[in-house]
Amino acid sequence: MYVLQVQSTKRADTNELKALFSKYSSVEKDGERYMTPADFVQKYLGLHTEPLHNPKTVQLIAGVADTTKDGLISFQEFLAFESVLCAPDAMFIVAFQLFDKNGTGDVSFAETHCSLRDCRCGIDNDRQQSYGEAGRPIWLQAAESAYRFSLGAIAGGLLPQLVGVAPEKAIKLTVNDFVRDKFSKKDGSIPLFAEVMAGGCAGGSQVIFTNPLEIVKIRLQVAGEITTGPRVSALNVVRDLGFFGLYKGAKACFLRDIPFSAIYFPVYAHTKTQLTDEHGRLGALQLLTAGAIAGVPAASLVTPADVIKTRLQVAARAGQTTYSGVIDCFRKILQEEGFRALWKGAGARVFRSSPQFGVTLVTYELLQRWLYVDFGGSRPAGSEPTPKSRIHELPPASPDHVGGYKLAAATFAGIENKFGLYLPKFKSSGVVTIHPPASKESQGS
């Protein structure tokens, strides 16, 4: 028979803790020394030491050790809290004590409401989808897609571009969001492979709409360079090419647009997470920056496919090389012009696509916030506060942190992450600094 043993942290020596308590305690009362909330949280634990720190947060954390709730921490309370931190389930015990504001050993509704208000609970911000993707009716998902398509069309271009660029962007944005929703977990996370797949599906779907428009546009541009001959219109191009001719070079379009979107959207999503503020929010500037940054690798890396696509779609003039397909075009460009020819226009493509997609994505995301309709799915990322993990903000290790106190800072940070709580770091306007109770000696003086 095997017994599973959960290892706990080794307790610190009582005499060592006594010396540390004497070092950091600043209040003497009835011959006994006590720590104030500032002594315990800021001086000893090294947490919330910023000049504009939130005093309520300091008191809330100190209240976990202050079991008598008199505003001061005795040595016995300091010693008892160290033993709590050594326990295997310390995070749950500390979380309970965080809510037990009266020190009664049970948590009332009033205490819970008060603690959630002070902590700015993130449960609503990280809410699960109200229906669940599998349980949402088909008509509701279709309505959501139509809604996103409409916003994407507006974001994709203004009136002069609505017929051309806007539907292309709308299809891409709608399909990407739709596939991401299918792979999103209940906590809102999505695997990297699913992000890449969603982007690839978005890029592939847009080719159905993009290819005919691009080939007509290219034929008209080339015809405009010829001063002699009859004037060529878009209708003439469509008649000459026929339906299947409008999809000439579609393979090259797939080679360009699928990798572009498979690179762009995951890079955009991860860049957004790096640009959020400490409340998890994203402003217009951060969205614009994320969209522009994501466009750099996406636009540059697919330049060879764009060059091949253009060569296939341009009507060859007399004496010019003709191409029978993607592979034939790739081989002839290498043979006749060299490898560098595949990267012609990479810089211009980046300078065009990067700001264009930046403006498109910031417009799309802001429209989703301003014109938000709840279809039972997920809200746009960055529109609501979703606190960042504070694990990376932990103070450096101190030799005075012994026994369970080695884990104190990590325990409080872990409580925020695990339970969706957010302990405000800075005081907001109107917050009055609460001073700890003065000792009798200081009152008498």
CATH number of 138-370: 1.50.40
Residue 404 pLDDT exceeds 80: yes
**pLDDT, average across residues 154-170:** 55
Give the Cα separation of 57 and 100 in Å (integer): 15
CB-side neighbour CA atoms (13 Å) of 302: 25
> In this predicted model, what pLDDT tens digit does every residue of 25-43 receive, in sequence order?
999 988 899 999 999 988 9
Inter-residue long-range contacts of 29-36, CB under 8 Å, 24+ positions, other chains counted = 29/72, 29/439, 29/440, 30/440, 32/74, 32/75, 33/75, 34/72, 34/73, 34/74, 35/62, 35/72, 35/73, 35/78, 36/62, 36/71, 36/72, 36/73, 36/436
In the prediction, which pLDDT does 22 show?
Answer: 92
Instruction: Count CB neighbours of 350 within 10 A.
Output: 18
Residue 289 pLDDT exceeds 60: yes
Tokens of 357: 């997609």
Residue 129 pLDDT exceeds 60: no
Local structure of residue 325 (DSSP, 8 states) = S
Tokens of 183: 């792979």
pTM over 0.85: no
Mean pLDDT of the chain: 75
For the chain, what are the domain ranges?
14-122+390-444, 138-370
What is the CATH architecture assignment of 14-122+390-444? Orthogonal Bundle (1.10)
In the prediction, which pLDDT does 435 show?
Answer: 43
Q: Does residue 127 contact residue 139 with C-beta atoms inside 8 Å?
A: no
Residue 109 pLDDT exceeds 50: no
More confident residue, 340 or 419: 340
Give the Cα separation of 294 and 400 in Å (integer): 45
Tokens of 353: 């696509």
Task: Provide the residue type at 292 as one letter.
Answer: A
Angle at 402 between CA 401 and CA 404, to 5 degrees: 100
In the prediction, which pLDDT does 24 show?
Answer: 93
Question: Which stretch of 46-50, 300-304, 328-332, 433-437 has the lowest confidence by average pLDDT?
Answer: 433-437
Rg of the chain over Cα atoms, rounded to whole angstroms, equals 31
Split at pLDDT 50, 70, 90, the class of 155 is low
Percent above pLDDT 70 for the chain:
68
In the prediction, which pLDDT does 231 show?
Answer: 65
Give the Cα separation of 77 and 100 in Å (integer): 15
**pLDDT, average across residues 322-338:** 86
> In this predicted model, what pLDDT tens digit does every residue of 262-287 receive, in sequence order?
999 999 999 998 888 766 778 889 98
Residue 72 pLDDT exceeds 60: yes
More confident residue, 181 or 375: 181
In the prediction, which pLDDT does 164 show?
Answer: 45
Q: Does residue 324 contact residue 281 with C-beta atoms inside 8 Å?
A: no
Residue 26: φ, ψ to 5°: -120, -5
Question: Which stretch of 171-175, 221-225, 226-230 has the lowest confidence by average pLDDT?
Answer: 226-230
What are the distances in angstroms from CA 379 to CA 2, 195, 371? 47, 17, 12
Question: Which stretch of 22-31, 67-76, 432-441 has the lowest confidence by average pLDDT?
Answer: 432-441
In the prediction, which pLDDT does 315 show?
Answer: 62
Question: Is residue 345 classed as helix, strand or coil in its secondary structure?
Answer: coil
Q: Does residue 307 contact residue 336 with C-beta atoms inside 8 Å?
A: no
In the prediction, which pLDDT does 419 show?
Answer: 60
Question: Which stretch of 16-25, 125-134, 345-354 has the lowest confidence by average pLDDT?
Answer: 125-134
Residue 171 pLDDT exceeds 60: yes
More confident residue, 107 or 252: 252
Residue 135 pLDDT exceeds 90: no
Give the Cα separation of 133 and 184 in Å (integer): 9
Closest Cα to residue 297, out of 338, 250, 349, 245? 349
